[in-house]
Structure 1
Amino acid sequence: MTTTNDLAELSPLGKSSAYRSDYAPELLFPIPRQGKRDELELRGTLPFFGLDIWNAYELSWLNQRGKPHVAVAKVSAPADSPNIIESKSFKLYLNSFNQTKLDSPQALLALLKQDLSNGFGAPVQVELTLQEDFGKLKMGEFDGVLLDRLDLDITDYTPSPQLLKAALDEAPVEEKLVSHLLKSNCLVTGQPDWGSVQIEYAGPQIDQESLLRYLIGFREHNEFHEQCVERIFVDILRQCKPQKLSVYARYTRRGGLDINPWRSNFSTGHMPGNLRNARQ
């Protein structure tokens, strides 16, 4: 199992880095998902499916005449892939295209799909938005009941699943709950990660005060984005016992990348939207 000490030693996180400007897929640093899932006692069949949606805003390359081009990339990695990609290594990899000559955007797309699928250990989807289509990119916010309106006294800033409460003896409900107060810290460097989260469920009504206290409890917690979302999903599923549950977090970008994990145990017939919110 890869430990936090291993990550600090082996990954580029928290270290000075020489920024390569020639194509270098070896810069990608995969991290097995299973180590953190073992902490949640997730073995065998997962209680969710989902995606990690990455948006890369600092993507550039050269055409064969040496002229730079820019694009925005969306990468969708399945939650059941063996690995995540450490985000700084992802940035370094993308920067390795800066002085790389390519025949076309399609050539770039093919390399991204190949290298990132190898890194995640499963096929990923990659979409490019070219400069002429930037105006088509939209912004939006999560819909749902805003938990942040609640006026609470908070004293605990570590995630405590025992805080979560639901009306287990009452009629089930369906609702979406939203908070913009999700904040955790990088597992290796301790740098803050800021996010918004939408929780959609059907089942016993979740006590909103207890849920907000629980979410704020991540404020001093050290885990990667994907791991935090899976912890939230598992804790709500076990403590509140919804029949349907999805957890979707939109994190603010760092180094030109944002990571947006989505985990669900029910299908709505479509994948989650990728609207950039105000803080992204």
Structure 2
Amino acid sequence: MREKEIEGITLLGNQGTKYATDYDPSVLETFENKHPDRDYMVTFRCPEFTTLCPITGQPDFATLYINYVPNVRMVESKALKLYLFSFRNHGDFHEDVCNIIVNDLVKLMEPKYIEVRGMFYPRGGISIYPFANWAHPDFGYQEIARERMFAQLSDLDKGDGAR
């Protein structure tokens, strides 16, 4: 049972971890969801996310929130950490980053629902908080995806951007 559970996971516990110097979705790994009969939310809070402005090359810092309802496969957290680290020297606009992450994780896991919120710290006096989500058409989360898209605006109005 244990061998099947960790099949395909190569990074966890590996002392020789290599950090990608540019965007690399190939580092992502998954494992089997042990509770596919129950819908539940998995949340990752990533307070040290860094990417580069594609125009100036200056660093942009953010806290990312990744929430998803797993289907059959789940993302392994160390692999996710290395994937997010791979944005460190990569230039993309904030909005692109959130959409790229959603797209990569959808392709990797095919979750029932996923959302990524980027809480980018101010640069030039403006903070940018992009939000991207996706709902698998087979599981009935399309309405929730639509509601969440606009509900996050009221969260920000309440001063609760970390939700």
**TM-score normalised to the size of structure 1?**
0.42
Structure 2 letter corresponding to 1:253? P
- Considering only aligned residues, what root-mean-square deviation do their CA atoms show, in Å? 2.4
**Displacement of 1:155:** 2.4
Determine which of 219, 234, 237 is the counterpart of 2:106. 237
2:37 pairs with 1:199? no
**Displacement of 1:169:** 6.3
* Residue in 2 that maps onto 1:209: 78
**Displacement of 1:205:** 2.4
How has the CA–CA distance of structure 1 residues 180 and 157 changed in structure 2, closer, same or farther, with 3 Å as cutoff? Answer: farther
Q: Is the 8 A contact 2:19 2:85 kept in 1?
A: no
Determine which of 184, 204, 220 is the counterpart of 2:51. 184
* Residue in 2 that maps onto 1:157: 21
* Residue in 2 that maps onto 1:219: 88
The 2-side partners of 1:177 and 1:152 are apart by 24
* Residue in 2 that maps onto 1:26: none
* Residue in 1 that maps onto 2:11: none
Post-superposition CA distance 1:183-208 (Å, at most 9, x none) = 11111110111011011001132211
Residue pairs, 1:15-94, within 5 angstroms: none
Gaps spanning 5+ residues in structure 2: where? 1-14, 135-140
How has the CA–CA distance of structure 1 residues 202 and 169 changed in structure 2, closer, same or farther, with 3 Å as cutoff? Answer: closer
Q: Secondary structure at the match of 1:190?
A: coil
Structure 2 letter corresponding to 1:155? Y
Identify the range of structure 1 (160-169 vs 209-218) with the bigger mean alpha-carbon deviation. 160-169
Structure 1 letter corresponding to 2:88? R
Size of the alignment, in residue pairs?
128
The 1-side partners of 2:83 and 2:56 are apart by 23
The 2-side partners of 1:186 and 1:277 are apart by 22
Gaps spanning 5+ residues in structure 1: where? 1-150
The 2-side partners of 1:170 and 1:159 are apart by 30
How has the CA–CA distance of structure 1 residues 254 and 236 changed in structure 2, closer, same or farther, with 3 Å as cutoff? Answer: same
Structure 1 letter corresponding to 2:28? L
How has the CA–CA distance of structure 1 residues 245 and 277 changed in structure 2, closer, same or farther, with 3 Å as cutoff? Answer: closer
2:35 pairs with 1:171? yes
Q: Secondary structure at the match of 1:220?
A: coil
Q: Secondary structure at the match of 1:260?
A: coil
**Displacement of 1:163:** 1.4
How has the CA–CA distance of structure 1 residues 152 and 253 changed in structure 2, closer, same or farther, with 3 Å as cutoff? Answer: farther
* Residue in 2 that maps onto 1:246: 115
Q: Is the 8 A contact 1:198 1:247 kept in 2?
A: yes
The 2-side partners of 1:169 and 1:248 are apart by 23
Q: Is the 8 A contact 2:19 2:82 kept in 1?
A: no
Give aligned-pair identity as a percent. 23
Identify the range of structure 1 (266-275 vs 153-162) with the bigger mean alpha-carbon deviation. 266-275
